[in-house]
Amino acid sequence: MDFTTITTAINSLLCRYLPEQGVVLAESILAAICLILAYVLFAIVMIFMERKVCAAFQCRLGPMRVGYWGLLQVFADVFKMLIKEIISIKRSDHVLYSLAPYIVIMSSVLTFSCLPFARGLHALDFNIGVFFLMAASSFGVLGILLAGWSSNNKFSMIGAMRSGGQMISYELSVGLCMLTMVVLSGTMQISAIVESQLDGWFIFKGHIPACIAFVIYLIAGNAETNRAPFDLPEAESELTAGYHTEYSGMHFGFFYVAEFMNVFIVAGIASTLFLGGWAPLYIPGFDAFNTAMGYIPGIVWMLGKTFFVIWLLMWIRWTFPRLRIDQVLVLEWQYLVPIGLVNLLIMTICVVMGWTF
């Protein structure tokens, strides 16, 4: 299914009634509403999935009481969060303190809008898509640093500094992995990256270097989202809650939702770059199979792959213990970055020599 028919229909409809600038404004607002609704919807699904998957890994059942199979648990949580008071801290930097959660959520929504959900169902798509995506995702750390700084709390500060050190370091590995896939695809436009995977996903086309990049991306992506085993910035046992210790109510909710949605975004980017985005499974030679796969709509493929990668990330999260800060940095600078660089070189050689499928 091609969503461009729907979007062009809406566009021509609006053009009939509004001047040109009005059309742009109306479309932007429409797209923003859709994006934020999708963002909240996926956040709810993610929180529920996190609870259930976490429970399964710990041999429990998870929430079972609120609604059938605990389905209404997340709504109860959100409602609780909404009715809580937003406390302002004495001697905190009030402006930055209230600004920080919005910066975090803004970066998260901006990155979310780069994800391609189906052909034509793609909010931000231009020729330096991957660059934009990295830029948008990396200014979330600014919000975290501000939150830690403006809270006037040593735990928040330590958490924020750890988060800064960790996220800026791991940004490098994420970037190298993305670069490896950009070398393979030859373009930075996200829609073009997905289009070129219609005849085979990059993880199969790029074989060994793509697999190594995928594993490094999963590790670095987990660190980017501040989740265990890289949850030092909010290590409960050491720093109460890290950078969001002083936040309450919906300000805390923004950090919480942004953190969950960053996992969704990391998984979405992984499925776009490595697992073909909305491109169906294609095996050369099996024509009947490929046509059958083609009938499954792209949005199902995209969400299926994304939630599979989320499940992988949760599996990692609920398996490994937390690393120490020096171990985190050693892992990044002594292992992931050199391996990522060598891997980039291998991928370049493969592409130049034509050793890809």
Q: Find tokens 């969001």 and name the residue.
A: 244
**Residues found near another protein in the complex (CB under 8 A):** 55-61, 64, 315-316, 318-320, 335, 339
Closest to another protein by CB, 60 vs 94, is: 60
Minimum CB separation of residue 311 from another protein in Å reads 10
Closest to another protein by CB, 58 vs 88, is: 58
Give dist(CA 357, CA 92) in Å, integer. 57
DSSP class per residue in 144-159: HHHHHHHTT-HHHHHH
Minimum CB separation of residue 170 from another protein in Å reads 17
Closest to another protein by CB, 119 vs 227, is: 227
On whether the CB atoms of residues 200 and 357 are closer than 8 A, the answer is yes
Cα angle value 137/78/322 (rounded, 5°): 55
Closest to another protein by CB, 28 vs 327, is: 327
At position 192, the amino acid (one-letter code) is A
Minimum CB separation of residue 57 from another protein in Å reads 5
Closest to another protein by CB, 276 vs 340, is: 340
Evaluate the CA torsion angle 111, 324, 217, 355 in order and state its sign: positive
Minimum CB separation of residue 307 from another protein in Å reads 15
On whether the CB atoms of residues 106 and 87 are closer than 8 A, the answer is no
Name the β-bridge partners of 201: none
Longest alpha-carbon distance in the chain: 68
Closest to another protein by CB, 52 vs 119, is: 52
- Determine the straight-line distance between the first and last CA of the chain, rounded to whole angstroms: 27
Q: Which two tokens stand for residue 164?
A: 């800064």
Closest to another protein by CB, 8 vs 319, is: 319
Give dist(CA 288, CA 332) in Å, integer. 44
Closest to another protein by CB, 62 vs 294, is: 62
Closest to another protein by CB, 43 vs 218, is: 218
Minimum CB separation of residue 318 from another protein in Å reads 6
Minimum CB separation of residue 149 from another protein in Å reads 35
Give dist(CA 289, CA 274) in Å, integer. 21
Minimum CB separation of residue 290 from another protein in Å reads 31
Burial class of residue 59, CB neighbours in 10 A (0-12, 13-18, 19+): exposed
207 phi-psi bin (left φ>0, alpha ψ -120 to 50, beta other): left
At position 256, the amino acid (one-letter code) is Y
Closest to another protein by CB, 285 vs 321, is: 321
Length of the chain: 357
Q: Which two tokens stand for residue 17?
A: 């009634």
* Nearest partner of 221 among 191, 265, 162, 160, judged by Cα: 265
* Nearest partner of 107 among 139, 76, 130, judged by Cα: 139
Minimum CB separation of residue 150 from another protein in Å reads 37
Minimum CB separation of residue 209 from another protein in Å reads 16
Minimum CB separation of residue 49 from another protein in Å reads 13
